[in-house]
Structure 1
């Protein structure tokens, strides 16, 4: 039997994807998340967007409005409080829901970070600071260190870490330290998904260039689709058990 779009091999409708983002009051950030969801929807039958902070709807509100199974994909670059606490709380009590791992760290993100750096004028030999939002969760900080290691492999040199909102050292302090150590040119890699308040702060860090956020890119779309399919496969196994 030929499989129809939006239908599993067993004839059951494909689960919907709920893309969960942080939320921002910056219109460009909101537009980017919408564009990312639209790009993913070209490869996934149904895509809905939810937010855990600042904006609505929440994941629980989206799930309550849906019929059938759903794969919740946290669009976070590190697994901190939102991934370990907010998302599980929001999906508790809903049947037929699978939550995937967060987006990062992942080699795909490192490839896009390196591209954004080159677009900002970075050249081999220039110092790099990975700018992350930060977290009080040790697991998230571990993820950021892994992301820095993956980026270092791409650019061929050490990558320092600075935080924008929570945690030390701050990005501007890292830039200052690198200059004091003799670095002639310092570039900031924005380990943020979209434009918003956090990214705007990077313009005042004193770097020679600030890369754009990860944003809409084929590698990002591929990564989200991969997370979705992994979650859908787990749902199928549960259904078949």
Structure 2
């Protein structure tokens, strides 16, 4: 049986984060009638992925969808470790990013708060010490740049360089009159709040509940369960 989807996210102490994730997964449930869609977290809050997997009945082969926009440490280490502790019965899909559907949702959020596009854009990601994860953010920035027909500089809220304020300053020094920030964050929280003080002309909201993201999660499930 592969009729269980476990969406695993990082976790946040910001109360609005789980609320947004819950609403997003409600959209996924509408796309996958009959599938038991559950949520789990790798850090900060519960339920943990280990506990969710352990609570599933014998004979169920769940599909785990990492709700991450790049394949950093949590995707490469924490998720496989939790699956292994459950006996390895779960199928793990790729992370959500840098799929073009995610980039399209990021662009939609940016366009929702501007009358005309800024002359340059910073793609603000959470940050990672993992080189492969940073490379995936670079891919997302390139896709967004092609779609917007604007320079897009990837930057990070924490851990990696350049920071988002540094990236804004770099683009201004390059002569761009207006600089916007596109949020490469899935849900609101502390990281999104930090973007308000980076010196940009406009800051887009996080991706949040978006039909493209819901469909991507559903398609990840279908491919793994098929």
**TM-score under structure 1 normalisation?**
0.89
Post-superposition offset of 1:43: 2.4
Q: State the alpha-carbon separation in 2 of the partners of residues 125 and 18 from structure 1.
A: 38
The number of aligned residues is: 221
Correspondence for 2:68? 76
Residues 187 and 208, structure 2, Cα contact 8 Å, conserved in 1:
yes
Q: Secondary structure, in 3 states, of the residue corresponding to 2:182? A: strand
Equivalent of 1:186 in 168, 171, 179 = 179
Q: Does 1:46 align with 2:36?
A: yes
Unaligned runs of 5+ in 2: none
Q: Secondary structure, in 3 states, of the residue corresponding to 1:38? A: helix
Correspondence for 1:206? 199
Residues 69 and 95, structure 1, Cα contact 8 Å, conserved in 2:
no
Correspondence for 1:62? 52
Q: Rg larger in 1 or in 2?
A: 1
Compared with structure 1, are the counterparts of its residues 153 and 96 closer, same or farther at alpha carbon in structure 2 (3 Å cutoff)? same
Q: Secondary structure, in 3 states, of the residue corresponding to 2:26? A: helix
Q: Secondary structure, in 3 states, of the residue corresponding to 2:31? A: coil
Q: Does 1:230 align with 2:223?
A: yes
Equivalent of 1:27 in 15, 20, 23 = 15
Higher mean Cα deviation, 91-100 or 128-137?
Answer: 91-100
Q: State the alpha-carbon separation in 2 of the partners of residues 83 and 146 from structure 1.
A: 18
Structure 1 residue ranges (4+ consecutive) displaced by more than 3 angstroms after TM superposition:
none
Unaligned runs of 5+ in 1: 1-12, 234-241
Q: Secondary structure, in 3 states, of the residue corresponding to 1:162? A: strand
> In the TM superposition, what whole-angstrom CA distance separates every residue of 1:47-81 from its partner, at most 9, and x where no partner exists?
01000011111111001111111000000000000
Post-superposition offset of 1:95: 4.5
**TM-score under structure 2 normalisation?**
0.94
> In the TM superposition, what whole-angstrom CA distance separates every residue of 1:207-237 from its partner, at most 9, and x where no partner exists?
011001111011000000011111112xxxx
Q: CA RMSD in A?
A: 1.2
Residues 76 and 103, structure 1, Cα contact 8 Å, conserved in 2:
yes
Q: State the alpha-carbon separation in 1 of the partners of residues 173 and 90 from structure 2.
A: 51
Post-superposition offset of 1:122: 5.9
Correspondence for 1:85? 77
